[in-house]
Amino acid sequence: GGKMMKTIVIDCAELTDKEKAQSYLKNIFAFPEYYGCNLDALYDMLTMLPQAEWKITFTHEKALKPESYAMKVVETIREAIEDNQI
């Protein structure tokens, strides 16, 4: 198909805490109102995306601290991409 690729750039510096991160993600992915604003909901939403149309990249990955919420978000997104072959 000649579908347009949608590139989503996730700024890891925006993922500082759960509230900020979830509102940022909801916004850039244009998740629906019922989005649950947690990592499980994020995973579910991403695995429902039409995989061929998305390219997800990360900026400011150096800002990620091990075990931080931001790191968990990035890991969740990577897992969804892998499982969904986005």
Question: Given a cut of 70, is residue 11 above it in pLDDT?
Answer: yes
Question: Given a cut of 60, is residue 2 above it in pLDDT?
Answer: no
Residue 63 CB burial class (10 angstroms; 0-12, 13-18, ≥19): middle
Q: How far is CA 66 from CA 14, 17, 42, 69, 85, in A?
A: 16, 14, 20, 9, 25
- Taking only the tens place, the pLDDT of each residue in 28-74 is 999 999 999 999 999 999 988 766 677 889 999 998 999 999 999 99
Contact 14, 24 (CB under 8 A): yes
- One-letter amino acid at 45 equals M
